[in-house]
Amino acid sequence: MERNIKSYQQFINENRNKKWLDDVTDNRGHINKIMTADTVRIKTLEFIYKSGKNGRSYTDIVRFIVEELNGKTYHHTVNRGNYSGLLTGVPSSYRRTTQNDHAPMATGILYKYCEKIKNKWVLVNDKLINHFISRELGSFIPKDDLDIIGDLL
């Protein structure tokens, strides 16, 4: 097995070069930090963002992660429940303990930053939406102008 880290110094400084999106408030009012590097989390949120107000179904999101990010073939019986910890924060083996427990205390990205509208997940977090807009416009507009546009939104 080949290692990607060439030296101890690279190992120590591995996370220092990563960019973070600070002070992202989730739907419950908690403040989070999200790494903006190409991670499964940010790519999945961007996939949901690109759907706009139409949103994405849960199955489409899992299919995207399996096929586009992992390069595997999606099959509904094999991949059912995959990435439920990331997406909903509730593992697929989760069982409710009481009948009154309608919405679990989920910590997944769908419950934190999205809203379910007509059985589709729509990104509603303003800070993340502004981040993705600036990514799209970044090559066309200078950074100072993007900051001004972000403040207006």
Write out the DSSP string of 43-91: HHHHHHHHTGGG-B-HHHHHHIIIIIIT-----TTTSTTTTHHHHTSS-
Residue 118 lies in a domain: yes
**Higher pLDDT, residue 150 or 32:** 32
Residue 122 lies in a domain: yes
Query: Residue 124, SS3?
Result: coil
Residue 10 lies in a domain: no
Residue 66 lies in a domain: yes
Query: Residue 24, SS3?
Result: strand
Q: How far apart are CA 150 and CA 53, in angstroms?
A: 19
pLDDT in tens, 49-67: 999 999 999 999 999 999 9
Tally of domains within the chain: 1
The answer on pLDDT for 91 being more than 60 is no
Residue 15 lies in a domain: no
**What are the structure tokens assigned to 122, written together?**
């729509």
pTM to 2 decimals? 0.72
Question: Binning pLDDT at 50, 70 and 90, where does residue 99 land?
Answer: very low
Residue 78 lies in a domain: yes
Q: How far apart are CA 47 and CA 8, in angstroms?
A: 35
Residue 6 lies in a domain: no
Domain that holds residue 129: 20-92+102-152
Per the listing, tokens 């030296």 go with 7
